[in-house]
Structure formats: C-alpha cells, structure tokens
Structure 1
Amino acid sequence: MAESAKDRRAREAIENLSRQLSDMREERDALAAHVEQIREAFMPGADGTDGGRLLAIGYVLNQSPTTSLARRDARMKAEAFAEAGAACIHIEKGQNDLAWMHKEVAPDGEEYVGGNGIPYSNKAFGAQHCRDEMARLQSSYSQQTDTAGEANHD
C-alpha cells in the first residue's frame, strides 16, 4: 500500500523535528559543559593566586563550547574506565586466590586452570587483560581531555 502525500509530509516533518531536537540537545550539552568549565575557572587556582585564576579564566573563555563538551566527555569516559579497571583488579585478585585450587600443568609444561579453566597464557579472556585494557583506555581518554583543551588555547 503506497504512502499518501499527506502521510509522507507528516513523516518528513517528524523526521525533520527529530533532527532539530537532536541538534539542539547536542548544542545544549556543549554549552552546559562550557559553563561548567567557566564556573570551575572562577574558583581559586591550584596555586591559590589571583594570577592563576585569571589565567584559567582566560584559558576557558578562549575555548569553544564544543571543546568543553569534548573535554567533559573524555573526562567522564576516563573516570568510567578507571572504575572498570579497579573492578578488573578485584576480579583478578579473586581469580588468583582461587586458581591454586585447580592449577594443573600440561605435558608441555604450561600451567593452566584445570576443568573448565583456560591457560594462564591466554590473557585475552582473563582479568589481567581486562585490567590492562581499562588502564590503556583510561590513559587514552585522559590524554584526549588534555588535548581537547589545548586545541583552542593557542
């Protein structure tokens, strides 16, 4: 059954409004992040001097709202990966605490967890790999936080 002209126009209008709403949300989020960064800049500087505060204010005012949003998003991701990494460390400790109960040695000399376990060398599925990957991602997003601010600082 073919779509009527009236239905097509209504669908197109809804799609257009949906795109506009999405664009407005992105702009709102960018502006909110920028305002948050400006507020933080008005707080006393780490060195406790007015000069440090003025430098921070000038730095933030020189940035665009999209830069502030990118920094905020990267900071939030870095924090999330730090929390995930801490969970991986906790899991790894638990694995290590229990591994001795099922530790076996293969004919080739490789240690592994018996039964349904996996070889110790297979880090792709282990908590150690999880911990290392979360640390790598945290570092990557922390660097993005720093570089997003430097992009407009020049």
Structure 2
Amino acid sequence: MSTILIVIFTGIVMLFGLLGVLLPMIPDLIIIWGAALGYGLLVGWGESGPWLFGAITVFGLIGVVSEIWMSGMGGKLGGASLKSILVGVILGFLGFIFLTPIGGLVLLLVGTFTMEYYRLGNAEAALKGMLGVGLGYGASFGVKLLLGIAMIGLWVLWVIIG
C-alpha cells in the first residue's frame, strides 16, 4: 500500500477517534493511539517517530486517567464518599469493557448512587454525589478533546518530519 494512502487512512481513523470524544460509544483516544501505532508499523518509525509516538502514548494515558480522576473529583465535590466513588469507578470500568462506553457511564453513575444511598439512606444526598461524578465525567470530555487534538497534531508532525 502506498504511503500516501496509509497517511490518508490513518488521518481518517484518527478523526473518527476524535469524534469518539463527543460520542461515548466510540473509544476515542484509544483509536487515535492505535492509528498512530498502525502508522508506525506500516510506514516505519523514522528518526523522530519513537519519540513522537511516546508522547502520543503519554497523552493518551493522561486522557484515560483524567476521565477517572475528574469523575472522582466531581463525586468528592458532590459529597460522595471515596468508597462510593471507587465502587462506581470499578463498575464503570467493567461496564466499559464488557458492555459499551455508555454501559460504563451508566454503571459508574448507578454504582455511585447505590453505594451513597446504602451509606446515607438518603436518596437526595446520594443523587447529589452521583451528579457530582457525572459532572466530573462530563468535564473530562474537554480535557480529552484537547488531548486528542494534541495527539493528532503530534502525528501530523511525525508525518511531516519523519
């Protein structure tokens, strides 16, 4: 396959991954990272490729961690206990893997609400903690969007300088 076709295909896949930041059913930064990996394997790494791919990897990891961290911070601001947040995050992670990203979000929220309700016996307080987690998760979209753009920018630099 010609290099130009690989570049075009990789760019399209990366834009699809960036769209995934806005559509929770698509695993966003993972797709961008995978496209960069595929580019390196098909076209070659070149002199700067390993360094740029390393930076793309770090940005992708920051994006994944920020999603979890910001959800937890939102829950803490909403009054949820650390135990409730951890249960929500674990259920959300399992839902993401075994269901869909939407399933992960639903299990994150339901897990946090259920633990808070069990802990407090108050649906209103449990709802406040759950909404905090949801708002934190929502805020992570902005961070992931910027990181996705940065990852694509690093790949474009890689294509240009080799």
Larger radius of gyration: 1
**Where on the TM-score scale, by shorter chain, does this alignment land: which range?**
0.3 to 0.5
**TM-score if structure 1 supplies the norm length?**
0.40
| Higher RCO (CA 8 Å, separation ≥ 6 residues) | 2
**TM-score if structure 2 supplies the norm length?**
0.38
Higher helix proportion (structure 1 or 2): 2
